A and B are shown apart, each in its own frame.
Chain A
């Protein structure tokens, strides 16, 4: 069995894993990081999106072994313990979620976008989310949440 060493959310891990173990199952079942969701399981829906060496990828379509030597960030590691990332604040404030199942993947994908483009247009946000499916919100408030996180939304006074 391949032995893998990865850094996940700043912590180093080494495990022997089955060759066929999918990265999403490694994160959820071995490391207990269940914030990364399995949605469609066919690399369509994006619920399993994580960052592998800084790039957003779909962890349901990667083997854990492929990540050997890599640095991974999951939704749990996006902000320090007890704090919220600006995207998490944005999704909360702008009602960017209803059932919440797609939210970790949406936020990880949006974080990758903002890393490369700190003030994306609405069109750029919608294009960046093409690999993430939400069945509740109609996407409108997800786009607003990302605009809010990138400081592009004037929020009404409470």
Chain B
């Protein structure tokens, strides 16, 4: 499978990439290319120009700050899961990253590329929702910081405006008693999520004082925070009974995806099962 003819330019800096994007409205940003190039090979996408940002040093870093860990958008999945600051803070990120594709894919694919692509079955969107991440984007008009909950807007859709590039992802540092987990039922060939569930909880004196439960793969409209499950956990003892009662209402009122891998009924069932597994792991039960 051969992509349609395309020009290629490697940007040396974020500002150069933004200028190139402004000059070439049909251009696409290329990072690891592990979503874009397969789509181009299938002729689902035929940009006139690829602007390669993978080697821009200012986009490939992981820095632990006082309030948050900042991850450069061009950090690969393997950069993230092998980073000690991520490992010690965000178990859900490590668990999710390890389940993306395979070693070779994780060596190329990037966090920024995955979230800008916003495949409804991709793993990072659910994780960023549960961990209350902020996405920093930059365009000709300057920079914006967008809460993950506002960034993902639907089927392969984000709050990115024309000419903007994802530059950084900020994940707030965990408070005392915080823990997270990501569990997924994967499609064995693509390893995309049929159902993926990311949870972040804070447990204070045995009681769940904060909870965020997010799903990807469940809805064709993309990753979403399940407010009903999250709310049902708040103020309750961190026990199996609490979790089972809360996940009984998982994915309620959601337009659940149906395809040849899983029916609506099966996906909804899996949502409850994987939410329970993720919560049990995060509550260390």
Q: Which residues of A contact B10 (CB under 8 A)?
A: 65, 68
Which residue, B33, B41, B50, B103, has most C-beta atoms of chain A within 10 A? B103
Q: Mark A24-60, 1 if CB is under 8 A from B, else 0.
A: 0000000000000000011110100100100111100
Of the candidate stretches A5-13, A14-22, A73-81, A145-153, the one touching chain B is A14-22
Q: A41-B41, A44-B189, A63-B8 are in contact. Are A58 and B2 (CB under 8 A)?
A: no
Q: Mark B73-102, 1 if CB is under 8 A from A, else 0.
A: 000001000000000000000000000011
Instruction: Identify 26 residue pairs between A and B in the complex whose beta-carbon atoms are under 8 Å apart, listed by A's number.
Output: A2-B8, A19-B5, A20-B2, A20-B3, A20-B5, A22-B3, A42-B38, A43-B38, A44-B189, A46-B104, A52-B107, A55-B78, A55-B107, A56-B107, A57-B108, A58-B108, A61-B34, A61-B37, A65-B8, A65-B50, A66-B54, A109-B104, A112-B103, A113-B103, A130-B103, A131-B102
Is B210 interfacial (CB 8 A cutoff)? no
Closest 5 CB pairs of A and B: A131-B102, A19-B8, A20-B3, A65-B8, A55-B107
How far does the alpha carbon of A131 sit from the alpha carbon of B55 in the complex, in Å?
24
Q: Which residues of A contact B101 (CB under 8 A)?
A: 43, 131
Of A2, A56, A63, A65, the residue contacting B104 (CB under 8 A) is A56
How far does the alpha carbon of A68 sit from the alpha carbon of B3 in the complex, in Å?
19
How far does the alpha carbon of A63 sit from the alpha carbon of B92 in the complex, in Å?
32
Is B263 interfacial (CB 8 A cutoff)? no
Is B105 interfacial (CB 8 A cutoff)? yes
Interface residues on chain B, size class: 20 to 34
Is B4 interfacial (CB 8 A cutoff)? yes
Q: Which residues of B contact A130 (CB under 8 A)?
A: 102-103
B5-A131 in contact (CB<8A)? no
B37-A62 in contact (CB<8A)? yes
Nearest CB in chain A: distance from B3 CB, A = 4
Would you call the interface of chain B mostly helix, strand, loop, or mixed?
mixed
Q: Which residues of B contact A62 (CB under 8 A)?
A: 33, 37, 108
How far does the alpha carbon of A18 sit from the alpha carbon of B202 in the complex, in Å?
52
Q: Mark B27-50, 1 if CB is under 8 A from A, else 0.
A: 000100110011011000000001
Q: Which residues of B contact A131 (CB under 8 A)?
A: 101-105
Interface residues on chain A, size class: 20 to 34
Q: Which residues of B contact A18 (CB under 8 A)?
A: 5
How far does the alpha carbon of A42 sit from the alpha carbon of B101 in the complex, in Å?
12
B6-A20 in contact (CB<8A)? yes
Of B7, B78, B190, the residue contacting A44 (CB under 8 A) is B190
Q: Mark B142-176, 1 if CB is under 8 A from A, else 0.
A: 00000000000000000000000000000000000
Nearest CB in chain A: distance from B276 CB, A = 25
Q: Mark B3-27, 1 if CB is under 8 A from A, else 0.
A: 1111111100000000000000000
8 more CB-based (< 8 A) A-B contacts, given A19-B5, A43-B34, A44-B190 = A19-B50, A22-B3, A43-B38, A43-B104, A55-B107, A62-B37, A66-B54, A131-B104
Nearest CB in chain B: distance from A131 CB, A = 3
How far does the alpha carbon of A129 sit from the alpha carbon of B5 in the complex, in Å?
33
Nearest CB in chain B: distance from A103 CB, A = 16
Is B285 interfacial (CB 8 A cutoff)? no
Q: Mark B43-69, 1 if CB is under 8 A from A, else 0.
A: 000000010101100000000000000
How far does the alpha carbon of A133 sit from the alpha carbon of B41 in the complex, in Å?
21
How far does the alpha carbon of A132 sit from the alpha carbon of B41 in the complex, in Å?
20
How far does the alpha carbon of A3 sit from the alpha carbon of B41 in the complex, in Å?
21
Nearest CB in chain B: distance from A55 CB, A = 4
B50-A63 in contact (CB<8A)? yes
Q: Which residues of A contact B7 (CB under 8 A)?
A: 2, 19
How far does the alpha carbon of A57 sit from the alpha carbon of B110 in the complex, in Å?
13
